[in-house]
Amino acid sequence: MNSKRFISIVRWLGLSASLAGIVAFYRLVIHANQTTVALTLLMLIFFIAATWGLRFAIITSVAATGCYNFFFLPPIGTFVVSDPQNLLTLVVFLVASVFASRLSDRIRSESEQARHRQTELEMLYSLSRALLQTDEVTLLTNTIPQAVTRATGAKSVLFFLLDGDRIYHSSLDWPASSNIMELQELSNAPGVSTNSGEGIVPLRTGVRPTGVLILRGVTLSLQTLEAIGSLISVSLDRASAVDEVAHSAATQESERFRSAILDSITHELRTPLTSIKCSVVTLLASATPRAEEHTLLTVIDQESDRLNRLITEAIEIAQLDSQQTNMTLAPSRIEAIISSAVASTRERLSGREIVVRTAPSLPTLILDRVRIEKVVSHLLENAAKYSDAGKPIFISAELSGRFVACSVADRGIGIDPSEQVLVFNKLYRARNRAAESLGSGMGLAISRAIVEAHGGSIAVTSQLGEGSVFTFLLPIPD
């Protein structure tokens, strides 16, 4: 027998038994007045309406009216209504049944909604606890699908991140045909939606889309899906922030450690280097050595100077990288800096022709003159190093939007395109002349650090066999 049919039969029997019991009780046991009987029947109608619904309540109202009229209203034993006012009983019973049923339905609905909200709150709390157990982004992204599945009871969950087009599944039974383009479109959807049994939750950091979460096999309200999306977005933001703080702390500690080592190495190197330099200078000045000895002493003297320069450059770039160098900023003219750099490097350029072209009426810049002059000097020496002695070097300065652009060009061997992004790295020298050059590979790295410390940028354009142009931009003050 069908369970619903069985329940219906039980209710019919219960209703019949209740009416029969009330009639028998008041007819055979207690001979109550009509008002008491009517109130008792009304209580039965309220009970039926509250527990079994409107249909049974109306049937109970009609049956109770019939019993009341037949057994308790004169003429007793008939359905004849002697007083038309007694028809009001049926109306009252019907109104009471409808009112009680509606009120009961409303209470049940609100109670069900409250239980549903409580269940969803418990689910969200469970999910938030699972997401807050890790501060590491990679571990969190791998945890999210399983955490959402356990918290919501979903059959399967897909988690997609726009960063790297990464897809994470809660189970292996998710269709392999996950379309990246479709997931990217869903990530940019305006809001949460449901489609064919799927809950689709775009994830955002502020207004920037970051990915999408798709749940299958569970029915949740749009508000709950939005709350899940917010929890995941906040958790990802939190883990990213923790990672950034940890990385920043590690970087600062690394910089402190590097500075300490550099200071120690600098001291240990410069002390014997100073002794070597003093000894060589003394030997060269104190007597007239033989030609072979003079050559060896001269090499030692030159290499001592070169080693001292390498140490100085290593210290400088370490300080620039760790932002431990204070810039002495003052109003300066780029034309004066170029002239000073050309004058100071002319001896090292072996009489190379230097052609200077500057645009008229260039604005005054706020910069560290000594350091920018060092940048120009590095670029001039670099141009001389990688071009033939008879080739000129060109240096120019002009306006470029909100910047002053300073360029140093040569007609040298050029730089291979694959190396152009590497030449500003520390200790890097172009392969085509690295073996011949005595450079340290630090000059361009120092130049980039100085220019970037001023809020500018530096770049190179080059063609093999044609030459190279190094250009750095310095911002014009407001």
* Segment 161-195, tens digit of pLDDT: 888 888 888 776 665 446 788 888 888 888 888 87
Buried b (16+ CB within 10 A) or exposed e, 202-240: bbeeeeebbbbbbbbebebeeebbebbbebbbebbeebe
Q: Is the pLDDT of residue 436 over 60?
A: no
Return the H-helix or E-strand segment holding 85.
Answer: none
Q: What is the pLDDT of residue 407?
A: 95
**Per the structure block, which two tokens stand in for 110?**
């609100």
Least confident of 201-210, 242-251, 333-342: 242-251
Give me the pLDDT at residue 478, please: 81
Mean pLDDT, range 416-440, rounded to an integer: 66
CB 41 within 8 A of CB 93: yes
Distance, in Å, from the CA atom of 156 to the CA atom of 215, rounded to the nearest integer, reads 6
Q: How far apart are CA 371 and CA 255, in angstroms?
A: 22
Average pLDDT over residues 296-316: 76
pLDDT in tens, 256-294: 776 677 667 676 777 777 778 787 777 777 766 677 777
| Residue 337 confidence class, pLDDT cut points 50, 70, 90 | very high
Model confidence over 54-76: pLDDT tens digits?
Answer: 777 788 888 887 887 788 777 78
pLDDT band at residue 412 under the 50/70/90 scheme: confident
- pLDDT recorded at residue 73: 76
- Give the residue, 406 or 347, on which the prediction is more confident: 406
Strand, coil or helix: 367: strand
Query: Does pLDDT of 324 surpass 70?
Result: no
The segment with the largest mean pLDDT, out of 99-103, 243-247, 347-351, 407-411, is 407-411
- H helix or E strand, kind and range, residue 199: strand 198-205
Nearest C-alpha neighbor of 469 from the set 401, 403, 394 = 394
Tell which residue, 401, 398, 408, has the closest CA to residue 460.
408
Task: Return d(Cα 304, Cα 86) in angstroms, integer.
Answer: 125
The confidence band for 355, taking pLDDT boundaries of 50, 70 and 90, is very high
Q: Does the model's pTM come out above 0.95? A: no
**Sequence-distant (≥ 6) Cβ neighbours of residue 239 within 8 angstroms:** 134, 135, 136, 137, 140
pLDDT at position 108, please?
Answer: 77
Contact of 396 with 425, CB cutoff 8 Å: no
Give the model confidence (pLDDT) of 370-394 as tens digits: 999 999 999 998 888 888 888 899 9
CA distance 102 to 54: 8
438 — pLDDT class (breaks 50, 70, 90): low
Q: C-alpha angle 237/240/244, rounded to 5°? A: 135
DSSP state letters, 428-478: ---HHHHTT----S-HHHHHHHHHHHTT-EEEEEEETTTEEEEEEEEEPP-
More confident residue, 256 or 362: 362
- Determine the distance from the C-alpha atom of residue 107 to the mean position of all C-alpha atoms in its chain, rounded to a whole number: 44
Between 382 and 442, the more confident residue is: 382
pLDDT score of 434: 42
- Give Dmax (Cα) for the chain: 155
Q: How far apart are alpha carbons 311 and 314 in whole angstroms?
A: 5
CA distance linking residue 463 with residue 469, whole number of Å? 9
Model confidence over 96-144: pLDDT tens digits?
Answer: 777 777 777 787 778 887 887 787 788 888 888 888 887 788 888 888 8
Percent of the chain with pLDDT over 90: 15
Confidence of residue 305 (pLDDT cuts 50, 70, 90): confident
Residue 439: per-residue pLDDT: 57
CA 370 to chain centre: 41
Burial of 142 from C-beta contacts in 10 A (0-12 / 13-18 / 19+): middle
pLDDT digits (tens, 9 = 90+) for 3-20: 778 787 887 888 888 888
DSSP one-letter string for 127-173: HHHHHTT---HHHHHHHHHHHHHHHH--SEEEEEETTTTEEEESSTT
Angstrom distance (rounded) from CA 292 to CA 298? 10
DSSP state of 290: -
Cβ–Cβ under 8 Å, residues 54 and 89: no
pLDDT of residue 363: 93
Question: Is residue 435's pLDDT more than 50?
Answer: no
Residue 113 CA to chain centroid, in angstroms? 35
Helical (H) or strand (E) element with 231:
helix 222-286
First to last CA, the chain: 89
Residue 466 has pLDDT above 50, yes or no: yes
C-beta separation of 478 from 467 below 8 A: no
- pLDDT at residue number 349: 81
| Domains recognised in the chain with CATH numbers | 3-120 (no CATH), 134-242 (3.30.450.40), 246-321 (1.10.287), 330-475 (3.30.565.10)
Residues 212 and 193 sit within 8 Å (Cβ to Cβ): no
- Can you give the pLDDT at residue 172? 60
The dihedral of CA 296, 297, 300, 301: what is its sign?
Answer: negative
- Residue bearing tokens 């917010």: 230
Q: What does the pLDDT average to over 455-471?
A: 90
More confident residue, 305 or 455: 455
